[in-house]
Structure 1
Amino acid sequence: MNMKKYNEILIGSGPAAYKMSNLLAKTSHSVLVIEGFEFGGTCPNYGCEPKIFLEGAARTVLQSQQLVGRGISQPAKLDWQALMKTKLSRFDPWPDETHSIIEKSHDVEEGYAHFIGDKTVSVNGRQYQADHIIIATGQTPNILDIPGKEYLHTNYDLLSLKTLPSRVAVIGAGFVGLELATLVAAAGADVTMIIHSDRVLREFTRAEDKMLVEAMKERGIKFIFNANTQKISQLKDELIIATDQGEVRADYILNVTGRHPNIEKLALDNTNIKYDHHGIKVDDHMMTSVDGIYAIGDVVSRQEPKLTPVAEFEGQYLFDYLTGKTTQPITYPLIGQAAFTFPEVARVGVNADSVAGDSQYQIKRIPLKYGSLYAGQNDQVSTLTLVFKGKQLVGASEIGDYAADDINNLIPIIGLQIDGNEYRQKVMTIYPTLGDKIAGLLP
């Protein structure tokens, strides 16, 4: 067989691989990009991009509801069909556009790659080798293995749903589950969340977790904690979800019980590549246990959160490493996280709960509802939590309508290790927002 060889083979075309693809397009390298699903991956097609697009309308509706009697007499109403029409017109062309951009510079195979040895991948019956093979296949949704699982839907389905069901059950309460529950409830669906454990976002403090749940309950979203989903059945025109906490009746069931590494089709057992249930194991240069094979993005087994900016950072790093621009091991920056619920929750650095009682750390909790900006929005729950080690800010989290933007104000202070005096001498932020208050909060 005449086997074609490249400088690089990219398996996947999501944020990590797309970053590398664009960088490699500026070189003379020969590159093959293999994609068996949607070009561009989850984020622009079924994840963060369409989610934040839809959140813009949902937030406006919920803020208007929050202001009834405080200057707004008629709250906004979300038109799901019109919203989804605008969403589909924006995002449906993206896979083809991404494919076209990649194809201008690189060879492309549409199909699923699998390894037939440590150095060879096969796709569509053709075999390829490369100096560097980069696995960037991301993650894929978990599906509960229970009777009636054929009635379960994922975020892929819901984010293209043209007609909104009356009753939506959400199984799971991580970032995606809470965000999508917020969205469909804002559009008028009756929402019930079925949660396996006793709380939702464990990345945040228990206080923030509780405040978020209470705020969502006040808008009519129901929560069933410590519930194991046992089976799903259809009765006439409704679905019955059987749990050990009773039955839930719904018209649509969203399964958001986490994600797992998208490696099933790669046939890694034909190689010496090591992996676990978190993903493919790599060293500090993103190389797998096989020389010349690398992994980047959400498919990697690592402690850092599996986020689009992290995937792109790894794509940039690996390009620099493979092209000789660096020999240093990868060092991750400070990484912020947010759930675009209503209210939002956002965090960075040290979690206050993890250092409670440790005399090395000092924790400040500041209610923000008294500030004019927050009071004007009737944002009653906004609370900022700051963690200091000596005079250095090392952690921050917030629940509130502007949590993501507020925490973004604090990430440079922590990441660049700026103390209060330096901040006050070099920065004067816009008054009277949270940025204005930060100077006074830093020791």
Structure 2
Amino acid sequence: MAKQYDVIVIGGGPAGTAMASGLKAQGKSVLIVEADLWGGTCPNRGCDPKKILLSAVEAKQAATNLQSHGLAGIPKVDWPALMATKRGYTNGINDGTLNGLQAQKIETIHGQAYFQTDGQLTVDGEVVNGTDIVIATGQRPAILPIKGHEYFKTSTDFLDLDAMPKRVTFVGGGYVGFELATIARAAGAEVHLIHHNDRPLKEFDPELVKALMANLTTQGVTFDLDVDLKQITKTATGLTLSDGQGFKLDTDLVICSAGRLPNDDHLGLENVGVTVGRHGIQVNDHLQTAAAHIYAIGDVSDTPVPKLTPLAGYEARYLVGELVKSGAAITYPVVPTQVYASPKLAKVGVTAVQAAKAPTKYRISSLDMTKWFTYYRLQTPQALAKVVVDRQSGLIVGASCLSEIADEMINYLTLLIQKQISLSEMQKLVVAYPTPASDLQYLY
């Protein structure tokens, strides 16, 4: 007879594990199912390993900026040693996550879950029943359906390269393409980034994107814009990319960085009436699907927020409360997003483009901070910001930053926005000086 659980969680990544742990702590009987690596994309083949590789890039860039300003000699990225450091972290994630779940007495099954009927799944043939079922299966890299698409590699492959090829090409100008191109170039590769129109990173401020591209071009990244790639051909010496309109490029490795797809197509959702759209599983404001006892959280769900690890955990915490005691609809805080390129590009809240459409409501400050002490001491090539202030309240409601510490600054700005801290309140604080935090009062 099939075993019955209060909740079955499909997916052992950040969303699913947070969900399972939270429910177990509330006394629920929980089963968590994972078809691939325990821990999910972020720690195994996403944000965490990427940031480990980026650490060497940041150190190299910092040393480059200080040439003739106190440092002599630019360090070289030792790719095999850097990769060994990355694997020293990622190799333990799967077993560590599984051991952590089992230590909490959460039942686990490794296999592919498939809906048979409402409340019933098979996992590689084994039947299990759940009163509620939570789908947290995440996303995977998309592969463009062009001729020769079998020669594409993905971000997963790049983040586990034994050696850096001489020539690396990225197809797709989203944050993944920019980030991995930055890493590949710092590691010594000849790098091209191909994008199908002239507006990569379309969610970010166009002027700051243009400035980022100029910085990366100076570092040696070549941008091939308005190129709609049609074919990849294997040659005796590598790969040839072409668009059928005269563009040709020879490369050794081609990474498809043209977005990600929700992992919702192997679950049998059609058997239980769950609706799926282009951006994932459709849910209401309680993260509930069209089926009353089936929910979706994290990257696989079609929610109005970016697909980020912290939001996966945020939604899991909300849904734990919802399944224990039904309550209010989910509300989201302001969410910062960033591109870990060199320099970094980050944004939060109302953008300058949005604010420009309501000039009586918002004031936009465009700041060139390159000569500010914070950046001068590091000899940062460029530091820019756009800050949106609500004219009536005087509160910051949005910001975009381009600098080598933009990821740190955007977190400070997120706090100012979320907690509605005014300039007068900010000036009542005493923060360490000179630090990026001590610059905040000059951004209003």
Distance in 2 separating the partners of 1:316 and 1:259: 24
1:9 corresponds in structure 2 to 8
Gaps of 5+ in 2: none
What SS does the aligned partner of 1:266 have?
Answer: coil
Contact persistence 1:113–1:266 (CA under 8 A): yes
Contact persistence 2:65–2:381 (CA under 8 A): no
2:27 corresponds in structure 1 to 28
1:437 corresponds in structure 2 to 439
Letter paired with 1:242: S
The answer to whether the aligner puts 1:131 opposite 2:148 as a matched pair is no
Matches within 5 A, 1:219-258: 219-243=219-243, 244=245, 246-258=247-259
2:208 corresponds in structure 1 to 208
1:152 corresponds in structure 2 to 152
Distance in 1 separating the partners of 2:440 and 2:158: 39
Cα deviation code 1:361-384 (max 9, x no counterpart): 100011111112211222132011
Q: 1:403 aligns with which of 398, 401, 406?
A: 406
Cα deviation code 1:307-333 (max 9, x no counterpart): 000000000110111112x61111111
1:329 corresponds in structure 2 to 329
1:69 corresponds in structure 2 to 68
Task: Decide which moves more: 257-266 or 96-105.
Answer: 96-105
1:355 corresponds in structure 2 to 355
Distance in 1 separating the partners of 2:22 and 2:269: 27
Distance in 2 separating the partners of 1:357 and 1:22: 45
Contact persistence 1:85–1:162 (CA under 8 A): no
Letter paired with 1:375: Y
The answer to whether the aligner puts 1:55 opposite 2:54 as a matched pair is yes
The answer to whether the aligner puts 1:424 opposite 2:427 as a matched pair is yes
Letter paired with 1:98: T
Distance in 2 separating the partners of 1:112 and 1:237: 39
2:278 corresponds in structure 1 to 277
- Shift of the alpha carbon at 1:103? 2.6
- Shift of the alpha carbon at 1:119? 2.2
Task: Decide which moves more: 427-436 or 404-413.
Answer: 427-436
1:368 corresponds in structure 2 to 369
Gaps of 5+ in 1: none
- Shift of the alpha carbon at 1:44? 0.5
1:38 corresponds in structure 2 to 37
Distance in 2 separating the partners of 1:377 and 1:399: 15
- Shift of the alpha carbon at 1:60? 0.5
What SS does the aligned partner of 2:427 have?
Answer: helix
What SS does the aligned partner of 1:25 have?
Answer: helix
Equivalent residue pairs, number: 439
- Shift of the alpha carbon at 1:66? 2.2
Distance in 2 separating the partners of 1:245 and 1:86: 42
Distance in 2 separating the partners of 1:262 and 1:307: 15
Contact persistence 1:228–1:245 (CA under 8 A): no
Contact persistence 1:9–1:134 (CA under 8 A): yes
Letter paired with 1:382: A
Distance in 2 separating the partners of 1:216 and 1:130: 51
2:396 corresponds in structure 1 to 393
What SS does the aligned partner of 1:212 have?
Answer: helix
Cα deviation code 1:64-92 (max 9, x no counterpart): 12222222210111000110011112211
The answer to whether the aligner puts 1:305 opposite 2:306 as a matched pair is yes
Distance in 1 separating the partners of 2:374 and 2:72: 20
1:194 corresponds in structure 2 to 194
- Shift of the alpha carbon at 1:438? 2.0
Distance in 1 separating the partners of 2:358 and 2:28: 53
Task: Decide which moves more: 354-363 or 299-308.
Answer: 354-363
1:118 corresponds in structure 2 to 118
In 2 relative to 1, CA 68–245 (structure 1 residues): closer, same or farther, beyond 3 Å? farther
Cα deviation code 1:156-210 (max 9, x no counterpart): 1111111110000101111111111101110101100011121221221111000
Contact persistence 1:63–1:377 (CA under 8 A): yes
Contact persistence 1:179–1:339 (CA under 8 A): yes
Distance in 1 separating the partners of 2:299 and 2:164: 30
% identical equivalent positions:
35
What SS does the aligned partner of 2:258 have?
Answer: coil
The answer to whether the aligner puts 1:293 opposite 2:297 as a matched pair is no
1:108 corresponds in structure 2 to 108
Task: Decide which moves more: 65-74 or 300-309.
Answer: 65-74
Q: 2:418 aligns with which of 379, 396, 415?
A: 415
Contact persistence 2:20–2:31 (CA under 8 A): no
- Shift of the alpha carbon at 1:25? 3.1
- Shift of the alpha carbon at 1:245? 5.1
Contact persistence 1:227–1:245 (CA under 8 A): no
Contact persistence 2:355–2:362 (CA under 8 A): yes
What is the alpha-carbon root mean square deviation over aligned residues? 1.3
Task: Decide which moves more: 415-424 or 160-169.
Answer: 415-424
Distance in 2 separating the partners of 1:310 and 1:145: 30
The answer to whether the aligner puts 1:174 opposite 2:174 as a matched pair is yes
Letter paired with 1:387: V
Question: Normalization by structure 2: what TM-score?
Answer: 0.96
